[in-house]
Amino acid sequence: MKLQFFIALRYLFSKKSYNIINIISMICAGGICVATLALVCTLSVYNGFQQLISDVISSFDPDIKIAIKEGKTFDPTLPLDKLKTLDCIQTTCEILEENALIRHKDKQTSVILKGVSNNYTDLIPTQSITDMGSFLLEDNEGVYTVLGTALFNQINGSISFTSPISLYAPKYATKVNVANPENSFNVEHVYIGGTYATHQLEIDSKYAFLPIKYAQELFEYGNVVSAIELNIKEQTDIQQAQNKIKELLGNDYVVSNKEQQHEEFYRMMKIEKWITFLILFFILLIAIVNVIGSLSMLILEKKKDIVTLQNLGATQSFIQQLFLIEGWMISAIGAFSGIVLGVILCLSQQLFGWLKLGTESEEGTFLINAYPVSVQLSDICLILFSVLAIGILVAWIPTRYIKHKNK
């Protein structure tokens, strides 16, 4: 194989009788290089956005969330007692989520009311997401709610002690009073203690926080919860902790990590990424197919060399391997150069942010100013393997006819 490689290398860089063969080979390698570069950059940008959104979402989510498999709420006493036996858990917080109506003066809208226990600020880094006021839910003066910024603006909220908001939840086992509908609802009047901003409209426009005991009273649920949220101690593997909790609680509960809590979102991100990969790969495939023309012309030009090698005792397999390596090297040069250039471009974008999301006048409008990129080794290996595998398959097509041409 060393001799075939040496001869193929000479053929690749030596001057041909027809200069067009060199030009076609350079165009083939250049096309593969550009398509590979585009794949590296595109997948890295997708990774960057996914990582950015994951970081934003994770500021609102616990490490692990426990919910009942069947039904909406459950008594937390038994699972909490079991969880106390695990030393990998740092914070345990009881949660009650339910739909409610929020009203402020003449503005009203539906919300997801999230009742949380007193240690919720130990579970979530609320300082990093607090926008106005403070993440205050209860003190000696009374009860407060914390709203998302979009929800706060939607109801024209005010952080003051002069303008409370009203939270409405339907009374159970009570018929709706058509003459006076408000009598069919439990009402809690609270002040706004502050607002939070995760920069995710779906979150910032829907959630309102309240101490869990008041949420339980409002919904007439008693001492039940809809979930238990956990934080795992540092230097503890989340997956191992999740498996331990699953084994401890049994099949009656659903134990989800951060990614599983937004399973549909992450699935859609992956689907979009790989659909884009396939589209760009088809473009790359067209560039690789051009190797057939370049290699066929080279075989025709080296017809005398082939006869000479046969007279010297070269087998048919030897000659086919020679030109197979030649075609594969064109793909390899394009692939490696494209990957190197793509990684350099991505790293420069990470360092300097030269490709902006908007114009200078729009700076500060977006969560970040420049396109985020994240180069992942798995993507690089996949691209390289795909190009080299298709390259050797394409190179095999013209080489298998060498025997028939020289009979």
**Ranges assigned E (strand) in 119-173:** 130-133, 138-139, 142-148, 165-170
- Average pLDDT of every residue of the chain: 82
State the average pLDDT over residues 294-321: 72
Q: What percent of the chain has pLDDT over 70?
A: 85
Cα distance between residue 244 and residue 82, in whole Å? 11
pLDDT the model gives residue 360: 52
Of 258, 278, 303, the domain-final residue: 258
Q: What residues contact 390, with CB distance under 8 A and at least 6 apart?
A: 284, 285, 288, 331
226 touches 76 (CB < 8 A): no
pLDDT the model gives residue 74: 92
213-256 pLDDT, tens digit each: 999 999 988 889 999 999 998 888 889 999 999 999 988 999 99
pLDDT the model gives residue 345: 93
Q: Does position 312 have pLDDT exceeding 90, yes or no?
A: no
Task: Say whether both 182 and 305 belong to one domain.
Answer: no
pLDDT the model gives residue 396: 80
Task: Say whether both 100 and 172 belong to one domain.
Answer: yes
Helical segments of 111-253, H only: 120-123, 126-129, 149-154, 201-204, 212-219, 238-249
Task: Say whether both 133 and 239 belong to one domain.
Answer: yes
Task: Say whether both 43 and 81 belong to one domain.
Answer: no
Task: Say whether both 38 and 84 belong to one domain.
Answer: no
25 touches 343 (CB < 8 A): no
Task: Say whether both 127 and 254 belong to one domain.
Answer: yes
> What does each C-alpha distance from 300 to 26, 109, 320, 328 come to in angstroms?
18, 76, 13, 18
pLDDT the model gives residue 14: 57
pLDDT the model gives residue 265: 81
Cα distance between residue 120 and residue 113, in whole Å? 15
Q: Does position 395 have pLDDT exceeding 90, yes or no?
A: no
Task: Say whether both 239 and 125 belong to one domain.
Answer: yes
384 touches 339 (CB < 8 A): yes
The parent domain of residue 158 ranges over 64-258
Band (pLDDT 50/70/90 cuts) for residue 4 is low
State the average pLDDT over residues 324-343: 87
Q: What residues contact 221, with CB distance under 8 A and at least 6 apart?
A: 73, 96, 98, 215
Tally of domains within the chain: 2
Of 209, 237, 258, the domain-final residue: 258
pLDDT the model gives residue 50: 84
Helical segments of 98-148, H only: 120-123, 126-129
pLDDT the model gives residue 182: 67
Task: Say whether both 375 and 277 belong to one domain.
Answer: yes
Task: Say whether both 319 and 248 belong to one domain.
Answer: no
Q: Does position 320 have pLDDT exceeding 80, yes or no?
A: no
pLDDT the model gives residue 407: 45
State the average pLDDT over residues 12-31: 66
pLDDT the model gives residue 41: 92
146-194 pLDDT, tens digit each: 999 999 999 988 887 778 899 998 887 666 666 666 677 888 889 998 9
Of 242, 258, 274, the domain-final residue: 258
- Which has more pLDDT, 224 or 5? 224
Low-confidence winner among 154-168, 274-288, 298-312 (lowest mean pLDDT): 298-312
Q: Does position 212 have pLDDT exceeding 80, yes or no?
A: yes
